[in-house]
Chains A and B, each alone.
Chain A
Amino acid sequence: EVQLVESGGGLVQPGGSLRLSCTASRFTLSSYWMSWVRQAPGKGLEWVANIKEDGSEKFYVDSVEGRFTISRDNARNSLYLQMNSLRVEDTAVYYCVTGSYWGQGTLVTVSS
């Protein structure tokens, strides 16, 4: 069974940083575009960023442009999201996604 497992979430103060990781098993991550999607408590889904198979192209939602960086290490079968200058409105469950495969999500809480 394909698994995507996120980690790295937690409580951080406004202005702080976190690095999320997503590790794939029984799935070759290097063959696919990968995305991060988030869901604030009680809210809908929001696409955050995606990255091409070889990492050569990256795109972001306007609200995180310049603060978040998506990256991947295909040798480690892993995807990352470096989040800097975090804001209260970044509080959400963050999912690692490709097509029909989703991780279970990791909760990021930005609060003082």
Chain B
Amino acid sequence: SYELTQPPSVSVSPGQTARITCSGDALPKKYAYWYQQKSGQAPVLVIYEDSERPSGIPERFSGSTSGTMATLTISGAQVEDEADYYCYSTDSGGDHWVFGGGTKLTVL
């Protein structure tokens, strides 16, 4: 079955740039989506269709793709950005969706 691979954890200091990667064979052809999940809360969409930002999401959140890798970048990360981040996409057939394993972002 299709898999998306993320690093388990990323750590940065406040104000630094955090980059979270997501690797998957179908990413050159399929959009990536990124969700933020804070402890005890439902996930929040922060990036859709590789690089689009929903209304209300701060501009410091951006997304990009290159080949089989999608990247979520948080420019000038803040303490309130500490959360688990999940990438989300479909297999090459577009029928089955999958989440990456999640990346715990620590900002301190």
Taking a contact as CB atoms under 8 Å apart, the answer to whether A95 and B101 are in contact is no
Taking a contact as CB atoms under 8 Å apart, the answer to whether A100 and B97 are in contact is no
Majority DSSP secondary structure for residues of B touching A: strand
CA–CA, A100 to B48, complex, Å?
9
Taking a contact as CB atoms under 8 Å apart, the answer to whether B45 and A44 are in contact is no
CB distance from B15 to the nearest CB of A (A): 28
Question: Chain B residues near A21 (CB, 8 Å)?
Answer: none
Taking a contact as CB atoms under 8 Å apart, the answer to whether B97 and A45 are in contact is no
Taking a contact as CB atoms under 8 Å apart, the answer to whether A47 and B98 are in contact is yes
- Among listed B35-43, B58-66, B69-77, interface-contacting one: B35-43
Q: Hey, what's the 0/1 contact readout for B89-100 against A, CB within 8 Å counting as 1?
A: 000000111111
Please classify how large the interface on chain B is, using the bins under 10, 10 to 19, 20 to 34, 35 or more: 20 to 34
Of all chain A residues, which has the CB nearest B42?
A: A102
CA–CA, A50 to B98, complex, Å?
12
Taking a contact as CB atoms under 8 Å apart, the answer to whether B86 and A44 are in contact is yes
CA–CA, A47 to B54, complex, Å?
21
Please classify how large the interface on chain A is, using the bins under 10, 10 to 19, 20 to 34, 35 or more: 10 to 19
Q: Does A78 contact B (CB under 8 A)?
A: no
CB distance from A38 to the nearest CB of B (A): 10
Taking a contact as CB atoms under 8 Å apart, the answer to whether B99 and A46 are in contact is yes
Q: Does B24 contact A (CB under 8 A)?
A: no
Cross-interface CB contact of A44 among B44, B95, B97, B101, cutoff 8 Å: B101
Of all chain B residues, which has the CB nearest A105?
A: B42
Q: Hey, what's the 0/1 contact readout for A37-63 against B, CB within 8 Å counting as 1?
A: 100000011110010000000010110
| 28 intermolecular pairs with C-beta atoms under 8 Å apart | A35-B97, A37-B99, A44-B84, A44-B86, A44-B99, A44-B102, A45-B35, A45-B37, A45-B43, A45-B86, A45-B102, A46-B99, A47-B96, A47-B97, A47-B98, A47-B99, A50-B97, A59-B95, A61-B96, A62-B1, A95-B43, A99-B45, A100-B44, A100-B45, A100-B48, A102-B44, A103-B42, A104-B42
Name B's A-contacting residues (CB within 8 A): 1, 35, 37, 42-45, 48, 54, 84, 86, 88, 95-102
